[in-house]
A and B are shown apart, each in its own frame.
Chain A
Amino acid sequence: MGRIIRDYAEGDEITTLVKELTQEAINLFEGSAGNTGPSQFTDVHAAKEVLGTEGTVASGRMSLTFAIEMLRRHFGPEVFNHTGIVDLRFLRPVRPGDTITFTGKVTGTSKEANGSRVSVAIEVKNQKGDTTGVGQGSAIVPNAFLPPEDL
């Protein structure tokens, strides 16, 4: 695959990512690490006992994973998988049946040794328009991926 030369400017919007959460997806996420016992993520009774909620919730780490996917698609895996960072705060629960939408906007760039760190503000909303998470992400885009005028 060829190198993508792209400039990054403050205010640039990232392509949104939409995910529909199901209990099956949550179970697979938890089960992939061998977490097969009942928990607030997989079992209604455990959720009631630990959180006092009427149903299960998705781990915040699933939202983290989706934010990483959004930025990986934007920067490309060759960049993001080696220099990417995502830092998310979880404000409201994400439950099975929710549709969550991830948006991002470039907030700035700063010079690093061999490239530029591009920072992105991230917001996550559910189908009701409630914000379930906010945070930021970044990646160091190597000089070879930037247009000459940005160096």
Chain B
Amino acid sequence: MAEVDDRIELDWDALEVGETFEKFEYLLTQEMIDTYRKGVMDPEASFPTIAHKVDVRQYNDRYTDAGSVNARCAFHCYNPPTPGKRLTVTAWIADKYLRRGKNYIVTEAVSVDEDGRLIDRVITHELKQPSEVGKKWGG
């Protein structure tokens, strides 16, 4: 049976800054870390959580839109995560703004492990008209 997509179509004007999503949990495995380190060609890379894009994950579970382009991203390092620990992510809409006629949404997320250790914070500015960027990039 086909899954029903019950996501809400994004209404940028109606989106409320401060909206906080349901907490999200996942297990960070050694295999995930090894694959990440291979991909970024750095055997000491300490924050594989970056690849999990946890700040936009819950947004994407709740809303559907035309896609997005990452325009800006900030990452705060607190403690490298430990393999085999469950991480809990709290994510929210931190801001939204209009620049040069284009709509942006800022999401923010904080990850904490099962022992209560603060892991990282990520803040992402996403442009919500990705095809505009494609035109500028010239294919």
**B1-9, B77-85, B108-116 - the one binding chain A:** B77-85
Within 8 A of B (CB), among A59-73: 59-62, 64-66, 68-69, 72
A91 to B137, CA, bound (A): 10
Inter-chain contact A87/B39, CB cutoff 8 Å = no
> What is the CA–CA distance of A80 and B91 in the complex, to the nearest angstrom?
24
Query: Which chain B residues in 29-49 approach chain A with CB under 8 Å?
Result: 32-33, 35-36, 38-42, 44-48
Complex CA distance for A90 and B75, rounded to whole angstroms: 14
**Cβ of B130 and Cβ of A61 under 8 Å apart?**
no
Q: Please give me the residue from chain B that is nearest to A65 by CB atom.
A: B40
Q: Decide if A32 touches B48 in the complex (CB within 8 Å).
A: yes
- The verdict on A113 contacting chain B, using a C-beta distance below 8 Å, is no
A1 located at the interface, meaning its Cβ lies under 8 Å from any Cβ of chain B in the complex: no
User: Which of A7-15, A49-57, A104-112 binds B?
Assistant: A49-57
Q: Judge if A38 is at the interface, Cβ distance under 8 Å.
A: no
Proximity string of chain A (1-37) to chain B, C-beta cutoff 8 Å, 1 when within and 0 when not: 0000000000000000001000001111111111100
> Is A30's CB under 8 angstroms from B51's CB?
yes
Least distance between B99 CB and chain A CB atoms (Å)? 12
Which residues of chain A are within 8 angstroms of B33 by Cβ–Cβ distance?
Answer: 32
**Are A85 and B76 in contact (CB-based, < 8 A)?**
yes
Residue in B53, B72, B77, B131 whose beta carbon sits within 8 Å of that of A89 in the complex: B72
B101 located at the interface, meaning its Cβ lies under 8 Å from any Cβ of chain A in the complex: no
Q: Please encode chain A, from 62 to 106, with 1 for each CB lying within 8 Å of some chain B CB and 0 for all others.
A: 101110110010000100111111111110110000000000000
Please, which residues of chain B bring their CB within 8 A of the CB of A77?
44, 46
Cβ contacts under 8 Å, B66 to chain A = 50
A-facing residues in B96-139 (Cβ within 8 Å): 123, 130-131, 133-135, 137, 139
Q: Which of A28, A34, A51, A135 contacts B39 (CB 8 A)?
A: A28
- Cβ A31 vs Cβ B50 within 8 A: no
Select A61's contact among B67, B70, B76, B135, beta carbons within 8 Å.
B70
Nearest A residue (CB) for B34: A32
Interface residues of B in 13-40 (CB under 8 A from A): 32-33, 35-36, 38-40
Q: Which residue of B lies closest to A86 (CB)?
A: B75
Known contacts A61-B73, A65-B50; A32 and B135 CB within 8 A of each other: no
Q: Are B67 and A40 in contact (CB under 8 A)?
A: yes
Bound-complex Cα distance A33 to B70 (A): 17
Q: List 6 A-B contacts (CB under 8 A).
A: A52-B134, A61-B53, A64-B50, A69-B40, A87-B74, A92-B137
For the A-B complex with A33-B51, A50-B130, A52-B135 known, give 13 more contacts whose Cβ atoms are closer than 8 Å. Answer: A30-B39, A30-B51, A35-B53, A50-B134, A53-B137, A62-B40, A64-B50, A65-B47, A68-B45, A77-B46, A87-B72, A87-B75, A92-B137
